[in-house]
Structure 1
């Protein structure tokens, strides 16, 4: 297929979806495409740029996992360390045998503060706890600390946000640092992610996209009252699409973890679907030969994110959006043009 025709197809897909955000493609350490669409700020008509910062919701869980792996590497904890042995916080109804491994693999059985099978509206959470009070990992405790287990520890995979809040509390307890500061010092800086960080929504830096939610009448509102005031261990970091490209390069070239520990992070551990598994570092698609691609995703009101890394192709695709939908569809279109052609 003619290359220009291929990219014309991508533009047509963006227009069809009214996709708002940035895309970044990187192969063998070199950028092959960075582009942006739509508005970072609708009311001011400020357009998204390749260096626009986007929230990536749960896409930032991998940073929490890497932080834990670094502490394991430093022999300060192990994957078999129990919550009760590294946190001085009471969870009266939690199984005392829950380990860091259980938390990383979503098999801990702890009560999920946002259980998508029970709630379909993230904004419902803030009826109990005002979102403007949630700016650190400990601020989430009232949402789950005194709740009962939802499943047995060590059971089957069930996606769980609470587990990653607890992992963030462990990072803080063991390292003696604020969670966001730990991630910025030990992951963002070594990876060269100079534009990325955990920012309060009422104190966003320059070049940060506002998230937008479509209303029933087709108009838009911002997500400022829909999410915690500041992201944390289970999601909510702000990144640029090129920064995620550099993140994958740093991770895969052992600049964040040793080769052995990076392999531990990326090993498939829990089966999610026929060809989809979950490791310490997120989802991955497998075939008979091994890992086809590593998959990162994030969904929040006004936030949509997808990123994949194809190890055999040394190919990174990043799609960040400041709307609730369309990142996945853009990713599929890109893959059809450069992977599945």
Structure 2
């Protein structure tokens, strides 16, 4: 794995990457590298066990939670939103199903619409982010808006749809969403360092997210995101815990084969080689699946994690800056393909 670590080092110097990368093959051999500071002011370095925010990377956890409840017979993928969530949505289609929400094809309005807003921080100008601590706190931001497009018409990445899925998990399980994921996914997968932590109560060895300005100044992202993550994003993981997640998922410790295959099925084509399953992106090469992957971007957060079935290899890159994770993952993939 020395070649891989050298390639990561070279890529880091080009993009000033701050974070941790871990590549683990089917034999358990690993290449790791950490750069930058988890806390710049005190010069605390990032390391293999640093916890990082992963933004939308944890939509996969939400999809797994829904799939578990389907396995238990509490829901089906065809269950309609109006039949499994006791909240009024005056302008939403009555025919929206869990499948539509999982695949970003529901057409529901998003609370952060990338067609309208460029900067996620704009959301919190009139609605302080320290008030956003539960899933229901998001509802006033989209509950009474009009549908964005006709149900099932197209794929349009949607955070609000995953807020609705989290609320469905809460109603069907009787548990707070974050508690459900921590107990039924993180604990089962052995992800002992991961969790949904509040900005004002972060545990030890957690990286602060940094937003860099062109003039060289910087600030943390504490005023740029909701104070606590939920079903659309915002969990914290270590790179080692993300490896455990993929291993547990494909080892059928979280879902049995039938429902796992539903989650991993390429339900919607997004571009020429890209598809979306339930909470997971899928990339094909020559009709074969090259990788299953998740990603997340927020102010002060960039994250990529992938499982490559042919090589039985897992790669995870966590960064506490707004960019950089993709550059490192790209180099990892190029190096892995050169070795084949």
Q: Normalising to structure 1: TM-score of the pair?
A: 0.97
Q: Which residue of 2 aligns with 1:35?
A: 33
Residue by residue, what CA displacement relative to the aligned partner does 1:266-313 show, whole Å, maximum 9, x if unpaired?
000101000100011311111344211111100000000001111111
Task: Work out whether 1:18 is the aligned partner of 2:5.
Answer: no
Task: Work out whether 1:105 is the aligned partner of 2:103.
Answer: yes
1:258 & 1:25 partners in 2: Cα distance?
26
Q: Which residue of 2 aligns with 1:318?
A: 316
Q: Which residue of 2 aligns with 1:228?
A: 226
- Residues 5 and 33 in structure 2, CA contact (< 8 A), matched pair in contact too: no
Following superposition, the deviation at residue 218 of structure 1 comes to 1.6
Q: Which residue of 1 aligns with 2:139?
A: 141
Task: Work out whether 1:191 is the aligned partner of 2:210.
Answer: no
Q: Normalising to structure 2: TM-score of the pair?
A: 0.97
- Residues 275 and 285 in structure 1, CA contact (< 8 A), matched pair in contact too: yes
Structure 1 residue aligned with 2:57, among 50, 56, 59? 59
Following superposition, the deviation at residue 220 of structure 1 comes to 1.1
Q: Show the 5 A alignment for 1:273-284.
A: 273-284=271-282
Q: Show the 5 A alignment for 1:92-171.
A: 92-171=90-169
Q: Show the 5 A alignment for 1:281-320.
A: 281-320=279-318
Shift of the 6–231 alpha-carbon distance from structure 1 to 2, 3 Å rule, reads closer
Q: Which residue of 2 aligns with 1:241?
A: 239
- Residues 63 and 102 in structure 2, CA contact (< 8 A), matched pair in contact too: yes
1:120 & 1:102 partners in 2: Cα distance?
25
Residue by residue, what CA displacement relative to the aligned partner does 1:4-54 show, whole Å, maximum 9, x if unpaired?
455323212112211000111111151411221100000000000100000
SS at match of 2:244: helix
- Residues 212 and 220 in structure 1, CA contact (< 8 A), matched pair in contact too: yes
Q: Show the 5 A alignment for 1:82-101.
A: 82-101=80-99
Task: Work out whether 1:76 is the aligned partner of 2:74.
Answer: yes
2:203 & 2:19 partners in 1: Cα distance?
17
Following superposition, the deviation at residue 179 of structure 1 comes to 0.3
- Residues 104 and 158 in structure 2, CA contact (< 8 A), matched pair in contact too: yes
Following superposition, the deviation at residue 217 of structure 1 comes to 1.2
SS at match of 2:247: helix
- Residues 200 and 230 in structure 1, CA contact (< 8 A), matched pair in contact too: yes
2:286 & 2:262 partners in 1: Cα distance?
20
Residue by residue, what CA displacement relative to the aligned partner does 1:300-330 show, whole Å, maximum 9, x if unpaired?
0000000111111110000000000010000
Task: Work out whether 1:202 is the aligned partner of 2:177.
Answer: no
Shift of the 4–256 alpha-carbon distance from structure 1 to 2, 3 Å rule, reads closer
2:146 & 2:227 partners in 1: Cα distance?
26
- Residues 34 and 242 in structure 1, CA contact (< 8 A), matched pair in contact too: no
- Residues 5 and 32 in structure 2, CA contact (< 8 A), matched pair in contact too: no
Q: For structure 2, which runs of at least 5 residues remain unmatched after alignment?
A: none
2:81 & 2:40 partners in 1: Cα distance?
44
Cα-Cα RMSD: 1.1
Task: Work out whether 1:176 is the aligned partner of 2:174.
Answer: yes
Following superposition, the deviation at residue 236 of structure 1 comes to 0.4
- Residues 223 and 302 in structure 1, CA contact (< 8 A), matched pair in contact too: yes
Q: For structure 1, which runs of at least 5 residues remain unmatched after alignment?
A: none
- Residues 24 and 31 in structure 1, CA contact (< 8 A), matched pair in contact too: no
